[in-house]
Amino acid sequence: MIELFYWPTIQGRGELIRLALEDSATPYVDVARGPGGISAMQAAMSAEHGKADALPFAPPFIRDGDVQLAHTALVLHYLGARIGLAPDDERGRMHAHQLQLSITDFHSEIHDTHHPLGSSLYYEDQKSEALARTKVFVRDRIPKFLGYFEREVLRGGEATLLGRHSYVDLSLFQTVEGLRYAFPRATAAIEPKLPAVMALHDRVASRPNVAAYLRSERRRPFSEQGIFRRYPELDVVP
């Protein structure tokens, strides 16, 4: 049984792992959502699980028996072939992981649109800087990242990044969902230029386990916490 440790009330980075576990119908426990779960997560952050693992720098992390792993992309790299969401040869695993690491970078930049001066400050203390960063992000970075993925989906074929369904497709789906929530005007403007990414998004949304998860209460709504946030003043036109 996989144990997932992540903040219980938000999607955040943990959502990419939740989507992989849900799509593949992998049994898991979302530890911090259980009684005493946040305390358990915090204890796990600072206690040694096994000499063979580094301590987590931050959630999300998982435990699978005596294995403990942190960093979203590494967790997905580990789970990938084990849950049927990546090739099992080294070459195919690296292909998926490389793409996922660009998702990581993209999400980090998305987060920093609302926290350009630092995640330890409130949004309200960096609103003008957030607007400045968002304008640059919408103009330069959304087209660069999504244009990159458009090309890779075209290379993969069949509305997939790898030529077969994978955890990276699930993460790209979530990225589109989040951008539509956080930057509805900029996202609507660019979608017509990204037919392959949008076909991938729609294919993922129609997968039965994904659709069931999105309807369930396990899927927390987007909010003004986490990576993707809707602040009307940041919904700029590119």
Q: Which residues bind a copy of itself (CB under 8 A)?
A: 48, 51-55, 57, 67, 69-71, 73-74, 77-78, 91-92, 94-95, 97-99, 101-102, 105, 108, 112, 116-118, 120-121, 126, 129, 132-133, 136-137, 140-141, 145, 148, 151-152, 155, 161
* Alpha helices, DSSP H, located in 24-119: 37-46, 72-82, 90-114
Nearest approach in angstroms of CB 108 to a copy of itself is 6
Nearest approach in angstroms of CB 73 to a copy of itself is 7
Of 139 and 218, which has the nearer Cβ to a copy of itself? 139
Of 18 and 95, which has the nearer Cβ to a copy of itself? 95
Nearest approach in angstroms of CB 79 to a copy of itself is 12
Amino acid letter, 199? A
**Cα–Cα distance, 59 to 141 (Å, whole number):** 26
Of 39 and 108, which has the nearer Cβ to a copy of itself? 108
| 236 secondary structure, DSSP code | -
**Cα–Cα distance, 94 to 133 (Å, whole number):** 32
Rounded to the nearest 5 percent, the helix, strand and coil shares of the chain are 60, 5, 35
**Cα–Cα distance, 199 to 222 (Å, whole number):** 22
Q: What is the arrangement of strands in the sheet containing 28-30, beginning at the earlier edge strand?
A: 28-30, 2-5, 61-64, 67-70
Nearest approach in angstroms of CB 58 to a copy of itself is 9
Of 22 and 169, which has the nearer Cβ to a copy of itself? 169
Structure-block tokens of residue 159: 């509305």
Nearest approach in angstroms of CB 202 to a copy of itself is 22
Of 34 and 140, which has the nearer Cβ to a copy of itself? 140
Nearest approach in angstroms of CB 22 to a copy of itself is 23
Q: Which residues have a Cβ under 8 Å from the Cβ of 219 and sit 6 or more positions away?
A: 11, 213
Closest C-alpha to 68, from 82, 84, 51, 49: 49
Of 220 and 229, which has the nearer Cβ to a copy of itself? 229
